[in-house]
Every structure is written in structure tokens, then in C-alpha cells.
Structure 1
Amino acid sequence: MVSHDKPHKPQTDKNHTFWQSLKHATRGVHFAIAHEKNLRRDVSFTIIVFVVAYLLKLSRYNFLWLALMVFLVIQAELWNSVAEYLVDLTTKHQYDYLAKIIKDLSAGIVLLTATFATVIGAIIFIPALWHLFFA
């Protein structure tokens, strides 16, 4: 039986059609969700954020801010994963000081992005929750 996880003949040239590019991009997202615990956690938080935003009847404007923040955090996580895989590929999993710096910088991007998203989320959710419970 042929495995569907890896193509029978590995592609070594550029994608030739939009659909071929879309197929590879979708595989990349599926791979990330399957193998990256932090990304799965972010997707779980995303669902919670949008359910709560819906229940609080937040404005479209606030939904857009939340969507932007979620997108930025997920994008940062994906880039962090790319950096980690590239470092591991080039160092063959051997310790290298510069590789550590690259991984730490990449993780720092995620930290700063998530912190910013948390601040924006607080700016949006705290007044809405205050209004719900105390108005």
C-alpha cells in the first residue's frame, strides 16, 4: 500500500499551477497542526476567543482586531517552526551557539506577538465583560 503522507516521487521543481501550490500549502498547515503542540494550543484559544466574542456580541470592528491578532500569533508560530526546522536541518541536531540564538530570537517573536495579542484582547474583552456583569 502506498502511503499518502509522502508523495511517491518527491517534487524537486517549482509548483506549476495554483492548485499544486494550494495542495502543498494545505499539507504544510496540516503538518503544523499535527506536529506543533503550541499551534494546536493557539487554535484552541482562537476558538474560545471567537465563541466568547460572539456571545458578547462584539462589534465587527472588534472581531476584525481579534482576527488580526489571531492571524499574527499563528503566523509567528508557523515562522518559529520554520526557523526551528531549518536550524535542526542545518545543524543536524547538534548544539551550535548561533543556532540557539536563532531559535531564541524566533521564540521571542512569538512571545512579543502573543503579548501584543493579549493586550489587544484585554482592551476589547475587559470593557465588554465589565458591561455584562456590572452594567
Structure 2
Amino acid sequence: MKVNEPLNSPKTSNPQTYEIVSNGSSPPSEVPSSGVKNPTEPVLPPQRQMAWRVASNLAVSFKYAWAGLSYTFQTQRNFRIHVFIGALAIGLSVFLHLKSVEVAVIGLTCGLVLVMELLNTAIESVVDLTVKQTYHELAKIAKDCAAGAVLISAMASVLVASLLILPPLFSLIYLSVIH
């Protein structure tokens, strides 16, 4: 059997189950469930079907990307909030006739926040998959750090948008009050 070949593939007529065996002094290893090790034959870890697929073409890649965006938009409240605020900031910057570079900077910083939200969702999903229903301090740290990255990017985005949008907005308000 090839190393990359799944145990339950059609080429394998005798699928085996594996169990973790440890003698206490060495790291555990996986051996066939019969418990007997053959010293001349290497013990291969069980192969499982991959949860991912390589996209066959560009259209399929976009389909997978859209599925991730759609999932995040449907399930993550903060992602929807960031989309709304980003659209509002870009719309306001266009309404205020900001320079193209300023609109681009606002768009890029808003995009960065959305990217961080997507990565946060991915990290949370992988951590949840790994620890399942059990609490683990390292899982908490991973999730908190990912959320912290979103917070920092959101604060930076608010700072950039404020510096670029507020002066012309206050000028417009001031001029409309005077006239």
C-alpha cells in the first residue's frame, strides 16, 4: 500500500482499524487493532479522506471562496456589522468627494477588517473541530488572539476613516448650518 493511499480505498481489500498503543516510556504509536507489531513492517498511520479538495479550475475556486464568504455572512453577526460600516464609510467618502487615493485607503482598511473576520471565523472553526465540546486553555488563547487581531484591525480602520472623513464632513455640516 502507498503511504498516501487511504486504508478504505477500493485498492485495499482488507481495511484495518488502528488503536493507540503506548508502553509509557515512548510516545504512543498507532498499530493494527490486533495489537501485534511486525518489526519488519513500518506502521503507517491510518489515512482518512481529506476534508478539502483541490479546485479543478478557477470557477470552482471562486465557488469555494464564495461559499466561505456566504457562510461567514450568514453566521457571523460581527462580519455583517463590519460589512455595513465599511459600505457606509466608502459611500460617505464618495459622497464627500474624497480623493480617489483616500477612498482606496478607506476601502483597503475596511477590506482588511473583513479579511481578519474571515480568518477569525476559520480559526474558531478549526479550534472547535479540534477540541470539540471540551475546554482547553490553548483553544481559548487561539480564539482570543484571533478576536484581538480583528479588534486591532477594526480600531485602525476607524482611525483611518475618521482622519479622512471627519474633516470634510464637519466642513459640510458647518457650511450647511451657516447658509
TM range (shorter): 0.7 to 0.9
Report the equivalent of 2:139. Answer: 99
Q: Which runs of 4+ in 1 moved over 4 A?
A: none
Count matched residues. Answer: 126
1:134 partnered with 2:174? yes
Aligned amino acid, residue 101 of structure 1:
I
Q: When the two structures are superposed, what TM-score results if normalisation uses the length of structure 2? A: 0.66
Per-residue deviation, 1:134? 3.1
Q: Secondary structure at the match of 1:29?
A: helix
Give me the whole-angstrom Cα distance separating, in 2, the residues matched to 1:37 and 1:23: 22
Q: Structure 2 stretches of 5 or more lacking a match? A: 1-49
Give me the whole-angstrom Cα distance separating, in 2, the residues matched to 1:117 and 1:41: 14
Higher RCO (CA < 8 A, seq sep 6+): 1
Change (3 A) 1:61 1:86: same
Per-residue deviation, 1:11? 7.4
Instruction: Write 1 or 2 for the structure with the bigger share of strand.
Output: 2
Q: Which has the larger radius of gyration?
A: 2
Give me the whole-angstrom Cα distance separating, in 2, the residues matched to 1:109 and 1:12: 26
Report the equivalent of 1:25. Answer: 65
Q: When the two structures are superposed, what TM-score results if normalisation uses the length of structure 1? A: 0.87
Per-residue deviation, 1:21? 0.9
Q: Structure 1 stretches of 5 or more lacking a match? A: 1-9
